[in-house]
């Protein structure tokens, strides 16, 4: 699966800056985690701080950037990060929800007065924007009353990164063995 081509809007020195999916993700191996919203309990007390704490371990596994995304505007995302002392994880607002819709993560949370939100998930994206791994919380649906945080944790991401690297090493070893077998024939 490729991630969708969308625009993201942020403000820099009072000026509106538009970035595309390509600007943010192309050429960078990325761990992206999506949260229901800035300043919400699980996102603020657990998910974002845990990813900030695990940032160096994630980067050490061959990742270039860690991004947190929510269907919130850039002002809200930056204020949220500042309130939690976030310095390493990049916060990106999907203000219009187009990216969330494009990765099929958008859900309706009108039952809580939130409107459109992203379902909690984590992705490992390669340099071309292809999904290498997805940790999507169980039970994705509109107006959910539960808010699971099991499959999109930094621990699961680190596990997945180890599994991806092990699979690559195994494939490389098999390819080398096939070449050796071909030259012996």
Instruction: List residues with catalytic annotation.
Output: 43
The Cα–Cα gap between 71 and 123 comes to 16
Tokens standing for residue 19: 């970035």
Per-position DSSP letters for 59-106, written without gaps between them? HTTT--EEEEEESS-HHHHHHHHHHHT--SSEEEE-TT-HHHHHTT-E
Instruction: Name the β-bridge partners of 69.
Output: 34, 92
Q: 3-state DSSP call for residue 148?
A: coil
Contacts of 67 (CB under 8 A, 6+ apart): 24, 30, 31, 32, 33, 89, 90, 91, 92
């Amino acid at each position: 699966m490729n991630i969708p081509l969308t625009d993201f809007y942020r403000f820099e020195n009072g000026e509106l800056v538009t970035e595309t999916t390509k600007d943010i993700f192309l050429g960078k191996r990325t761990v992206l985690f999506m949260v229901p919203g800035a300043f919400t309990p699980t996102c603020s007390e657990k998910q974002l701080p845990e990813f900030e704490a695990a940032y160096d371990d994630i980067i050490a596994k061959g990742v270039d950037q860690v991004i947190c995304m929510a269907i919130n505007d850039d002002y809200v995302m930056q204020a949220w990060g500042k309130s939690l002392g976030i310095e390493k994880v990049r916060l990106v607002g999907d203000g219009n929800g187009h990216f969330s819709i494009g990765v099929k993560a958008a859900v309706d949370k009108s039952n809580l007065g939130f409107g459109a939100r992203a379902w909690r998930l984590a992705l490992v994206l390669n340099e071309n924007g292809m999904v290498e791994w997805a940790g999507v919380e169980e039970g994705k649906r509109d107006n959910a009353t539960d808010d699971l945080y099991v499959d999109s944790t930094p621990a699961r991401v680190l596990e997945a990164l180890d599994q991806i690297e092990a699979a690559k090493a195994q494939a490389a070893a098999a390819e080398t063995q096939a070449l050796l077998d071909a030259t012996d024939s």
